[in-house]
């Protein structure tokens, strides 16, 4: 589903965020992407999304070479990828409901269906009490759940989560991890970027480790601690 071949990314300011990264993620697979802060996790996600251009190498998403995509096709690629951004990227002046609904508005679903699906997500993420709040008044954890709800509401083929539990207390973190595993069981390819070693050690899924832009480990089978 996601294939990286010798991918390097150098930002215009000369920082080498990724160097010669190669891995494959099968359809329906679940993997952690770990590494210290600044290791290149967010950069890797932005490359999959075509938010940044690859400096060298090749990235295939759902079998398509992202560098060869026409600019007009990028939105359609992104609709198949749910992303929980590290900084949430919520629309500050729209309600929680509208923030989640936007992922469905852009594909033109009827209002009635949008309402039904958004309410389902609100419940799933325990946000049913704040559909009309604006994100800035919510806590970090609540905002994170709104971001997760938006990423999942259109049932994307790929879910990329950048530090999805970073702002959650441990109990909620477990909830969210269970949710992400449920999503994977339904067939979604899931990549979870986190620098939280403790979290990773509680699960047995595949682990990709980045160190200063280089992929230093790819553990397919692990034993949970």
Partner 1 sequence: MALFFYRILYFLRESFKNVRYSLFLNIVSVFTIAVSLVLVGFFAFLLLNAGRFLDEVAQDLRISVYLNDDITPEQIDALALELRRKPEVEEIEVVTRAEDRRRSMALLSPMLLEGLDEQSIPAQASIEIGLKKRSLRRADIEEVDQWLRQITEVDAVDDALFGADQLRVLHAGIDLIQTAGLIVSMIILLAAVFFTFSTIKLAVYARQQEIEILRLVGATHRFIRVPFYLEGILQGLVGSLVALAILATMRNQVNSFVREVHLLNLEFELLPSHTLLLFVAGGVLLGFLGSALSISRYLRA
**DSSP 8-state symbol, 107:** T
Under the binding rule (CB under 8 A), the answer on residue 103 touching partner 1 is yes
Q: In what order do the strands lie in the sheet with 2-10?
A: 16-25, 2-10, 56-61, 64-65
- Distance of closest approach, residue 120 Cβ to ligand ADP, in angstroms: 31
**Site for Mg ion (CB under 5 A): which residue of 42, 99, 167, 188?**
42
Binders of partner 1 among 44-63, rule CB under 8 A?
49, 51
Under the binding rule (CB under 8 A), the answer on residue 115 touching partner 1 is no
- Binding marks (x or -) toward ligand ADP, 36..75, rule CB under 6 A? -xxxxxxx--------------------------------
| Strand ranges for the chain from DSSP E | 2-10, 16-25, 30-34, 56-61, 64-65, 81-84, 158-162, 189-194, 206-211, 214-219
Binders of partner 1 among 149-168, rule CB under 8 A?
150
Interaction site with partner 1 (CB under 8 A)? 49, 51, 72, 75-79, 81, 83, 85, 89-94, 98, 102-103, 105-111, 150
């Amino acid at each position: 589903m996601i294939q990286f071949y010798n991918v390097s990314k150098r930002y215009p300011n000369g920082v080498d965020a990724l160097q010669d990264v190669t891995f494959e993620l099968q359809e329906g697979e679940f993997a952690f992407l770990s590494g210290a802060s600044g290791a290149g996790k967010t950069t890797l996600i932005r490359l999959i999304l075509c938010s940044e251009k690859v400096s060298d190498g090749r990235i295939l998403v759902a079998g398509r070479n992202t560098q060869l995509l026409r600019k007009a096709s990028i939105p359609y690629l992104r609709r198949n990828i749910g992303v929980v951004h590290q900084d949430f990227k919520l629309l500050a002046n729209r309600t929680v409901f509208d923030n989640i609904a936007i992922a469905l508005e852009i594909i033109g679903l009827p209002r009635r269906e949008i309402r039904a699906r958004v309410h389902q997500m609100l419940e799933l993420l325990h946000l049913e009490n704040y559909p009309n709040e604006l994100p800035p008044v919510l806590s970090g954890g609540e905002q994170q759940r709104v971001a997760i709800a938006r990423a999942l509401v259109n049932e994307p083929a790929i879910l990329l989560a950048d530090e999805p539990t970073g702002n959650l207390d441990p109990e909620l973190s477990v909830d969210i991890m269970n949710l992400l595993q449920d999503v994977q069981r339904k067939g979604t390819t899931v990549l979870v970027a986190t620098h939280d070693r403790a979290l990773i050690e509680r699960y047995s899924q595949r682990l990709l480790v980045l160190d200063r832009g280089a992929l230093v480990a790819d553990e397919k089978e692990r034993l949970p601690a």
